[in-house]
Structure 1
């Protein structure tokens, strides 16, 4: 997962709350860092996404493939 996919996934799953979740929510699985701090520290976006999903009780079926754009049609 790329950083852009991570940010798209957060906005899609939590519309209107992206900034607050990224900057204020402390994620226990990431040593008590926020998502923004974890990104700055070099934690892979996929790990942050999964930690955020776990913290916010996002169902398993909405965690995988999130943030990806639809393939271009040829």
Structure 2
């Protein structure tokens, strides 16, 4: 998964304004106690980060 696709899905699921807030503020144990932004900056695989978001945020099957 490319980063561009990741953000498209984030915006579609959360809405553009909340996606950014969620990514920078919500600490996830699935990401080792990091936010989405921190995990991506630390070099986590984009697809692994997306899977963690899907698991914890009830993302629709169409976006998974």
TM bucket by the smaller chain? 0.7 to 0.9
Greater relative CO (CA pairs within 8 A, separation 6+): 1
Return the alpha-carbon distance in structure 2 between the equivalents of residues 36 and 12 of structure 1. Answer: 17
TM-score by length of 2: 0.87
Structure 2 unaligned runs (5+)? Answer: none
Residue 8 of structure 1 is matched in structure 2 by 8
Return the alpha-carbon distance in structure 2 between the equivalents of residues 30 and 10 of structure 1. Answer: 16
Matching of residue 28 in structure 1 with residue 29 in structure 2? yes
Deviation string 1:27-72 (CA, Å, 9 cap, x unpaired) is 111101000000000001111111011111224x2343xxxxxxxx
| Corresponding pairs, count | 63
Residue 39 of structure 1 is matched in structure 2 by 40
* Rg larger for: 1
Q: Which runs of 4+ in 1 moved over 3 A?
A: none
| RMSD of aligned Cα (Å) | 1.2
Instruction: Report which of the two has the higher share of helix.
Output: 2
Structure 1 unaligned runs (5+)? Answer: 65-74
Deviation string 1:1-49 (CA, Å, 9 cap, x unpaired) is 0111101110011113111111011111110100000000000111111
